Structure 1
């Protein structure tokens, strides 16, 4: 019995025994126990009549009067096992109140789930072990890619994104490119430059960003992104990592660059993205001389691109499909295009054509391997392209949206479709292309 007592109960027993043995007076014991002398003599009587058990509460071992019924606990645990077996206590509490009209505290649910073995406390969970992975054997076998959003110019220019390409076997920086956002067209432009410099690697290793991976399970949704389609045509494998730790090489490089690259650009007086992109090859060469490793095997697995510039343009364009109407027309970016009604084209009504939207604003329409001549029938004047936001940080996009909204408040302009890629900003920077006008 003494083994189940608390320290407070053991201390009280010793005080009562001292009072009985006349080593303490009732007043002195009351002062030590924080009770009245009358209550001390009451405890002395209970000890003399019932021994040590007489000092224990009669409610010991019995359920509290404020406890929930056993039937409710069984019902709640059955509902959790059936519908919410992988939910946390907080979310379960919300779902029980919303769907089952059962209102319980989060900690009550947590205790019930722990006792039933449904929930494991964080202190008892096994640590997840991330074992280091050996580097690949050859240069160009695996290239890790990632975008790093940061205040790279320390307030001298708006925050932007640095696209990083690093070789897994050697740790070499293969290519760096600053861009306003982390979009599909930015990655396509950076990848094209990479291939022009080094050739085609065996595989790119990325995260599960929507640029690289389609997470929707809808059967009607294409299971490949525009970037994945481009790599597929180049015969380059695209591998998506399940965690940041899996592509730790490029994550560590990002941390190093956020320290060294920022300070180097400050010393060089570089304040804009254009200046930085022009200077980056010098930084890459110096960085690789200092930190690059020697590969296990000296063979370079990069393959040359077998094609001309036009093939490269087609691969790195935005590909879309349209169905021709009976009048040989299709709508793209809220612009109506007319296919030339030649004798050969007259049989194409209802057929699906491929639309190639180039970053510089050009547009090409293809049926199979044949290019179809077309012209614009109806074009909206003074319109701007809606954006597909495919970046991890929305700051730059929201800033641009606010400027556009201010312009629309002053002039009643119509907007274009939101389903098109972000290229109008690049088009304005390059200069208006009069194609198809």
Structure 2
């Protein structure tokens, strides 16, 4: 325990008593030599020891104390965000108010000042606001329950992909965010919102990655049937697309095994709903465009870090026909000049627009573009358009209470032919 009054008395005696050395005074008072030298500069023969023991600001209001106008402004700023982390609320205050030149009059009027994270933490406690930020308890030995492995050294070496269902807009509709995060930098590379987790969402994500960055070395995912076939050794449709690009699929056995993207999903779930409110996003079409154009770079600037190896592992897309990559693949055999998929019969069309005559049992490869649903057949590496010849799908039962209803049903049949 430091004794300031004793230190001042001994320093004053030292002026006339050379036997009182700084090490001796330090041992008796708890002050370091440097602190004692600084204290000695404030001494003279007429020094009042009691007065020197008190700090000059004692009893005064702190010069940086927030005024009531500033506190009230922050209370009003918080109202649209009932569940927000302390860090994000501070970000919004800095980005939307303090650093906005158009808000300079507001900053002056309410006496707003840049505040530290600890200051905002105290404000949350004073106002009784709860932050959704939560940390999992450590183990008894003080380590995290699932220690993290070292990240991949190069950007593009390992991409983690996952789907997260959530009510992002707050309209009681659960939509799934399909997200891809680079393992080396934790930067989000691409994202897509869809009503459910589906193959098309991951195709959009991969299309963005391929066209913006190139071909990654591998993808790390869970064992969803989109990625991993239930039949050992078989590739899913998505797996075949990745195989065409030379991308290796790696599967995790548990959510903890792909911890980086799981934690990133948690970060996005906490931040994104508030930023959707903040930027006035009201529908998922707008959200998808805004998320890709603005939010990915915005969130990347906050949480991404440099990889250990500055050289990218992404490979340029040169030489690949990307439209041919993102296709569903079916193998069929011709019967009576046609083949069927999902109860619909198709025939190949030649360059004159005529149905082609093909020998029965001839194998053909069918491709369907995942984005446009455009279908074509491959024969001898040549693409042939196809046309619908019959629709044998099961039709739902219809009820006709009168002749008018029957007439409408028949008209619908004619329209579908």
Q: Does 1:146 align with 2:157?
A: no
Q: Determine the structure 2 residue equivalent to 1:92.
A: none
What is the TM-score of this pair, normalised by structure 2?
Answer: 0.56
From the superposition, tell whether residues 408 and 366 of structure 1 become closer, same or farther in structure 2 (CA, over 3 Å).
farther
- Structure 2 residue matching 1:239: 3-state secondary structure: strand
In the alignment, is the contact (CA less than 8 A) between 2:350 and 2:384 conserved in 1? no
Q: Does 1:235 align with 2:246?
A: yes
Q: Measure the CA separation in 2 of the matches of 1:173 and 1:379.
A: 43
Q: Does 1:336 align with 2:350?
A: no
The structural deviation recorded for 1:147 is: 0.3
Q: Determine the structure 2 residue equivalent to 1:20.
A: none
The structural deviation recorded for 1:330 is: 1.0
Q: Does 1:296 align with 2:308?
A: yes
Alignment RMSD, CA only? 3.2
Q: Measure the CA separation in 2 of the matches of 1:199 and 1:227.
A: 18
Q: Determine the structure 2 residue equivalent to 1:133.
A: 149
The structural deviation recorded for 1:284 is: 1.5
Q: Measure the CA separation in 2 of the matches of 1:152 and 1:377.
A: 43
Q: Measure the CA separation in 2 of the matches of 1:288 and 1:379.
A: 48
CA offsets 1:139-190 (integer angstroms, 9 cap, x no match): 11111000000111111x6220001111111111111211121111221122
- Structure 2 residue matching 1:191: 3-state secondary structure: helix
From the superposition, tell whether residues 373 and 251 of structure 1 become closer, same or farther in structure 2 (CA, over 3 Å).
closer
The structural deviation recorded for 1:380 is: 6.7
Q: Determine the structure 2 residue equivalent to 1:164.
A: 179
In the alignment, is the contact (CA less than 8 A) between 2:179 and 2:205 conserved in 1? no
In the alignment, is the contact (CA less than 8 A) between 1:160 and 1:178 conserved in 2? yes
CA offsets 1:299-323 (integer angstroms, 9 cap, x no match): 1111111236xx2112111111111
Q: Does 1:350 align with 2:350?
A: no
Q: Measure the CA separation in 2 of the matches of 1:200 and 1:234.
A: 7
From the superposition, tell whether residues 374 and 264 of structure 1 become closer, same or farther in structure 2 (CA, over 3 Å).
closer
CA offsets 1:100-135 (integer angstroms, 9 cap, x no match): xxxxxxxxxxxxxxxxxxxxxxxxxxxx97432101
Q: Determine the structure 2 residue equivalent to 1:244.
A: 255
Q: Determine the structure 1 residue equivalent to 2:277.
A: 266
- Structure 1 residue matching 2:220: 3-state secondary structure: strand
Q: Measure the CA separation in 2 of the matches of 1:408 and 1:147.
A: 39
Q: Does 1:197 align with 2:209?
A: no
Q: Determine the structure 2 residue equivalent to 1:312.
A: 322
Q: Determine the structure 1 residue equivalent to 2:290.
A: 279
- Structure 2 residue matching 1:269: 3-state secondary structure: coil
Q: Determine the structure 2 residue equivalent to 1:40.
A: none
- Structure 2 residue matching 1:366: 3-state secondary structure: strand
Q: Determine the structure 1 residue equivalent to 2:224.
A: 209
The structural deviation recorded for 1:335 is: 2.1
Task: Describe how 1:53-92 pairs up with structure 2 within 5 A.
Answer: none
The structural deviation recorded for 1:341 is: 8.4
In the alignment, is the contact (CA less than 8 A) between 2:364 and 2:378 conserved in 1? yes
From the superposition, tell whether residues 324 and 286 of structure 1 become closer, same or farther in structure 2 (CA, over 3 Å).
same
From the superposition, tell whether residues 161 and 340 of structure 1 become closer, same or farther in structure 2 (CA, over 3 Å).
closer
Q: Measure the CA separation in 2 of the matches of 1:408 and 1:264.
A: 47
In the alignment, is the contact (CA less than 8 A) between 1:337 and 1:375 conserved in 2? yes
In the alignment, is the contact (CA less than 8 A) between 1:189 and 1:316 conserved in 2? no
Q: Measure the CA separation in 1 of the matches of 2:156 and 2:268.
A: 21
From the superposition, tell whether residues 375 and 200 of structure 1 become closer, same or farther in structure 2 (CA, over 3 Å).
same
From the superposition, tell whether residues 361 and 373 of structure 1 become closer, same or farther in structure 2 (CA, over 3 Å).
closer
Q: Does 1:363 align with 2:375?
A: yes
What is the TM-score of this pair, normalised by structure 1?
Answer: 0.54
Count matched residues. 258
The 4+ residue runs of structure 1 with deviation greater than 4 A are 345-348, 407-414
Q: Which structure 1 segments of 5+ residues have no match?
A: 1-127, 385-404, 415-436
Q: Which structure 2 segments of 5+ residues have no match?
A: 1-143, 411-416
Name which of 187, 194, 199 aligns with 1:184: 199
Task: Describe how 1:422-437 pairs up with structure 2 within 5 A.
Answer: none
From the superposition, tell whether residues 283 and 372 of structure 1 become closer, same or farther in structure 2 (CA, over 3 Å).
closer
Q: Measure the CA separation in 2 of the matches of 1:195 and 1:214.
A: 24
In the alignment, is the contact (CA less than 8 A) between 2:375 and 2:386 conserved in 1? no
